[in-house]
């Protein structure tokens, strides 16, 4: 799995909660590569509500987690979230166009240290740090479900160091 020629990132799989177009309960993220970052716009609605008019914090965390899944595609690494930390800086308002940005701060063997931000125009709404751990195909066999064809190439183990990247926002 890799970004398309136009920089857009294909869904992890059609039913992915974050980016799958066939998941009616999903967030419908459309991600794209912008230099060494991944970006996506997100408009949340009443399905995602916590306090009246505000997005649920868990939904914000899910969006950032899946955005990191887009960074994995950009990097060509198959990995899973080991740790995700979110600082909520301002309420995420329903109906507003929110912008997600994610990048790889550094890698250390199997460990990928990813960072991301969520903005509403110029307002920083949330920032996240995550530890992802590279995995191979055996990790996903445990569900017993059929893996998407395009994951096969992605799931080859990779140990090489990745160059650091920083956001430009």
Ligand X SMILES: CCCCCCCCCCCC(=O)SCCNC(=O)CCNC(=O)[C@H](O)C(C)(C)COP(=O)(O)OP(=O)(O)OC[C@H]1O[C@@H](n2cnc3c(N)ncnc32)[C@H](O)[C@@H]1OP(=O)(O)O
Binding-site ranges for ligand X (CB under 6 A): 12, 16, 18, 65-66, 69, 72, 78, 80-83, 110-111, 131, 133, 135, 151, 154-155
Q: Which residues are catalytic?
A: 65
For ligand X, the closer of residues 69 and 116 by Cβ is: 69
* Nearest approach, Cβ of residue 72 and ligand X (Å): 6
For ligand X, the closer of residues 93 and 162 by Cβ is: 162
* Nearest approach, Cβ of residue 106 and ligand X (Å): 14
Own/partner pairs for 28-32, CB < 8 Å, 24+ apart? 29/63, 29/66, 29/67, 29/70, 29/100, 31/67, 31/70, 31/73, 31/100, 32/3, 32/6, 32/7, 32/8
Q: What values do phi and psi take at 69, rounded to 5?
A: -60, -30
Residue nearest to ligand X (CB): 69
For ligand X, the closer of residues 157 and 164 by Cβ is: 157
């Amino acid at each position: 799995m890799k970004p398309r020629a136009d920089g857009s990132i294909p869904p992890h799989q059609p039913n992915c909660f974050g980016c799958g177009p066939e998941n009616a309960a999903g967030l419908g993220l459309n991600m794209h590569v912008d230099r060494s970052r991944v970006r996506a716009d997100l408009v949340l609605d009443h399905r995602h509500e916590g306090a009246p008019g505000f997005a649920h914090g868990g939904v914000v965390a899910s969006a950032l987690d899946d955005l990191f899944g887009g960074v994995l595609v950009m990097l060509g690494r198959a990995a899973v979230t080991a740790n995700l930390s979110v600082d909520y800086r301002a309420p995420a308002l329903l109906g507003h166009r929110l912008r997600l940005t994610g990048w790889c701060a550094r890698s250390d063997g199997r460990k990928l240290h990813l960072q991301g931000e969520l903005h509403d125009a110029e307002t920083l709404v949330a920032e996240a740090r995550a530890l992802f751990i590279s995995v191979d195909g055996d990790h996903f066999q445990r569900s017993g479900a059929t893996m998407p064809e395009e994951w096969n190439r992605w799931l080859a183990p990779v140990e090489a160091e990745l160059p650091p990247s920083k956001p430009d926002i």
